[in-house]
Amino acid sequence: MEQKTHNRANPKYCGRVVRLEDGEAEVELDLTEEMIVDEKGLIHGGFTFSAADYAAMVAVNHPLVVLAGAEVKFLKPTKVGETIVSKAKVVSQEGKKIKVEVSSFRKSNQEKVFEGNFTCIIPSKHVLD
């Protein structure tokens, strides 16, 4: 399936799409030195959120999709050198409002580190127009 949205997202910070099917997407993000917040190698949660958000957008896969809201839980800390996998699935759609569930895991052992419910909207025109 062809990716139709967020094609200019930087894989260094958002992750790379490794699977795309109708209503589902999987994104992998390598956690690097640029993302750490302390001397122990703790990764800022914003990067975990970014990969999950990107997975949600790609699961919807509409050129104009944007995030309208999210309810998330950070379950475990992540650290430099890990790779996280964010798996997104569209669970409902009412008109232009789409709900997407996302779970993120450590690639090495499948331990869940994040989960969220994302509300996406498909506006009639680009949000910057």
* pLDDT for res 102: 98
Domains of the chain: 11-121 (3.10.129.10)
Can you give the pLDDT of all 129 residues of the chain as single tens digits? 999 999 999 999 999 999 999 999 999 999 999 999 999 999 999 999 999 999 999 999 999 999 999 999 999 999 999 999 999 999 999 999 999 999 999 999 999 999 999 999 999 999 999
> What pLDDT, on a 0 to 100 scale, did the predictor assign at position 39?
97
The CA distance from 116 to 52, in Å, is 8
